[in-house]
Chain A
Amino acid sequence: MPQPNPIAERPIADYLDALSRAFAFDTALAARVRREVADHLHESAAACGDSPNAERDAVARFGDIGDIARHYAAPALLARMRGLGVVLIAALALVFVEMELRVAWYGWMRWTASAELQRLNAVGLPLDRYAFFAALALAAVGWAYIGSRRAPAAFDARYGRELGRGIALCAAAAAALAVVVAVETALTGWRLGELSWSAAALVPALTIAAEIACAAVLLRRLGTTVRGAAAALALFR
């Protein structure tokens, strides 16, 4: 007697596994959709007798996984890109506040720069300023671009290109901000190295730590967005 193929006998489970793979662009959304679709398919199969054939029919009625994923991908990736835009603007604002706070603290504490630090500042501060302005300009353009995008009914090649442009603008702004934070870290580190340790040194140390944290959160968010968009582009190419 021929043995039933255990893989062929699990149409719903196979379908759900394929669905999870098609939602690689957003793992949290994948988990939610999988739970919801599992309930639907089991109820649909139960209404028709709950046999492997009923499962196959339920899966067939549900439709093509690629089509379903495309419909979810468009708004999900736009929401993620908008989230990246918000994090970018927040990171810029926080880094600016930290920089101003540190400068005000140096003035209040009457900390003067040594000759070596002045030479470093002569190179570092213009770089820092121009990188910050570049980050600000790129973020403004990126924000306007992201804000003007509308998600189509389903993910398509044109929308993929739009996502790519939005992410590229955010990535360029994030890179410029990373330069700002790196220069600020180097200059502040140099200054702190010249000082004898005191509680007053905590202010520049903490503000630079906050700047690094802002940059890290932004880069992490950028990485998640890039991975999601890349997964969608790979799946729907």
Chain B
Amino acid sequence: MDSSPRLEGEMLKGHLDMIVLAAVAAGPAHGYAVIQEIRRRSGGAFDLPEGTVYPALHRLEQKGLLGSRWTTAESGRERRVYSLTKRGQRALADHRTVWQRFAAAIAGLFDEPAHAAAKSNR
């Protein structure tokens, strides 16, 4: 049984806050634009149910990592625009450091058997 899609979905949920912070770091954006940015920058790999991003935006705002304000779009509709706060910038930098360390460690684990196999074949 292939569990990859489910695993990816769970991994995505676990890192949703970091993903949303990274998308908003590009500049102030409303929810729809944040979703488009996530989709674009992940090359379409992170195709989330769109409604899941809004609770994450709200949660990050409650934590003080995002700020928000109502604006009026060209269409005349009211629009909530989110931007990264100073705390949000620090949190994103911390996430990035932890993630890079984690990714390097995982890469090391995956690479090691290949190195070991290469050595034993010599």
Binding site for B on A (CB under 8 A): 32-33, 35-40, 42-44, 46, 61-65, 67-68, 71-72, 75, 79, 153
- In the assembled complex, which residues on chain A have CB atoms less than 8 Å from the CB atom of B70? 35
Range, interface on chain B = 20 to 34
Which of B32, B51, B62, B77 gathers the greatest number of chain A CB atoms within 10 Å? B51
User: Interface residues, chain B, CB within 8 Å of chain A?
Assistant: 13, 30-32, 49-52, 54-55, 58-59, 62, 70, 73, 75, 77-80
- Bound-complex Cα distance A33 to B77 (A): 14
Residues A63 and B51 in contact, CB atoms below 8 Å apart: yes
Once the chains bind, are B55 and A40 in contact (CB under 8 Å)? Answer: no
Q: How distant is A152 from chain B, measured CB to nearest CB, in Å?
A: 12
Question: How far in angstroms is the closest Cβ of chain B from A50?
Answer: 11
Contact between A68 and B51, CB atoms less than 8 A apart: yes
A71 to B55, CA, bound (A): 6
Chain B residues closer than 8 Å to A71, beta-carbon distance: 52, 55
Q: Are B55 and A39 in contact (CB under 8 A)?
A: no
Asked if A44 contacts B80 (CB within 8 A), the reply is: no
B78 CB contact (under 8 Å) in A35, A44, A153: A35
B54 close to A36 (CB less than 8 A): yes
Q: How far is the CA of A33 from the CA of B53 in the complex (A)?
A: 12
Whether the Cβ atoms of B55 and A43 lie closer than 8 Å is no
Are the C-beta atoms of B31 and A40 separated by less than 8 Å?
Answer: yes
| Given A39-B78, A42-B75, A43-B32, residue A75 in contact with residue B62 (CB < 8 A) | yes
A39–B13 touching, CB < 8 Å: no
Main secondary structure, interface of B, reads helix
- Across the interface, do B51 and A67 meet the contact criterion of CB distance under 8 Å? yes
On whether the beta carbons of A33 and B54 are closer than 8 Å, the reply is: yes
Q: How far is the CA of A166 from the CA of B52 in the complex (A)?
A: 28
Q: Are B55 and A72 in contact, CB atoms less than 8 angstroms apart? A: yes
Q: How far is the CA of A54 from the CA of B13 in the complex (A)?
A: 27
A40, A42, A71: residue with the most chain B Cβ atoms closer than 10 Å = A40
Q: What separation, in Å, do the CA atoms of A153 and B52 have in the docked complex?
A: 11
**Contact between B79 and A39, CB atoms less than 8 A apart:** yes
Beyond the given pairs A35-B70, A37-B51, 16 more chain A to chain B contacts, judged by CB atoms under 8 angstroms and listed by A's residue number, are A35-B80, A36-B54, A36-B79, A39-B30, A42-B77, A43-B73, A44-B50, A61-B49, A63-B49, A63-B51, A67-B49, A68-B52, A68-B54, A68-B55, A75-B58, A75-B62
A39 and B49 in contact, given A71-B55, A72-B58, A79-B62 (Cβ under 8 angstroms): no
Top 10 closest pairs, chain A to chain B, by CB: A71-B55, A63-B49, A63-B51, A68-B51, A62-B51, A40-B32, A62-B50, A39-B77, A36-B80, A43-B32
Cα separation A68 to B58 with both chains bound (whole Å): 12
Smallest Cβ-Cβ distance to A151: which chain B residue: B59
Whole-angstrom distance from the CB of A57 to the nearest CB of chain B?
Answer: 11
**Contact call B51/A64, Cβ cutoff below 8 A:** yes
Task: Output the nearest chain A residue to B31 by Cβ-Cβ distance.
Answer: A40
Q: How far is the CA of A46 from the CA of B32 in the complex (A)?
A: 12
Task: Assess whether B54 is in contact with A37, with CB atoms less than 8 Å apart.
Answer: yes
A-B contact pairs, 16 of them (CB 8 A): A35-B70, A36-B31, A36-B80, A38-B77, A39-B32, A39-B80, A40-B30, A43-B73, A44-B50, A62-B49, A63-B49, A63-B51, A67-B51, A67-B52, A71-B52, A71-B55
